[in-house]
Amino acid sequence: MSDVTHILSAIEQGDPHAAEQLLPLVYDELRKLAAQKLALEKPGQTLQATALVHEAYLRLVGPDQSRSYKDRIHFFAAAATSMRRILIDNARRKQTHKRGGGGQRQPLEEAAAPEPDENLLALDEALKKLAVTDPAKARLVELRYFAGLTSDQAAQVLSISTSTADRHWAYARAWLQAEICGT
């Protein structure tokens, strides 16, 4: 059993010091994951990778949490989901009137691309629709896109073959593209 899996087991059993031991082991990977997610955001993003990691970590193993993770991959999949929710909440918060969300943007070009926050919200809405009709494919998208897992790793988490994961990934990407673009 890996160190991470062992510590996750200790957290589940209520060891108060286990969470302190876990952070140094997973911090670098969580930081890379957060940096990947924030790279997709527009420049000037106020949320930094460190803050995203810390917020996600608190949601995963904070004192109010009573979750269990069966292994390292499961933990990182949950971390990716947590980061996704934080980014979605942040994007929604920015769109509120209080945060200037009611203002009209003036595009520099005639065909300006949508803002990354808008893309993220559109992806979230489309992903919710996909989850209603096909939760397994929606979960696969979360693992691949938000967690940054490879096809093999995502297949392992979902207990499916790699070829099935690849087929589901191709379908889900096409479905989400059509849903977001309205085609």
In DSSP notation, 89-112 reads: HHHHHHTSGGGTTTSPP--SSTTP
Rounded CA separation 76/71 (Å): 9
Greater confidence (44 vs 14) lies with 14
Pair of tokens at residue 120? 């993220």
Looking at the chain, list the stretches that DSSP marks H as alpha helix, in order from N- to C-terminal side.
3-12, 18-39, 49-61, 72-94, 116-133, 135-141, 151-158, 162-181
Burial class (CB in 10 A: 0-12, 13-18, 19+), 18: middle
**What's the pLDDT tens digit per position in 86-108?**
888 887 887 765 555 555 554 43
**What's the pLDDT tens digit per position in 25-43?**
888 888 888 887 777 766 6
User: Mean pLDDT over residues 116-122, rounded?
Assistant: 71
Q: What is the pLDDT of residue 116?
A: 53
Determine which of 5-14, 54-63, 109-118, 129-138 has the lowest per-residue pLDDT on average.
109-118
User: Mean pLDDT over residues 107-134, rounded?
Assistant: 70
Q: Is the pTM of this model over 0.85?
A: no
Rounded CA separation 141/93 (Å): 24
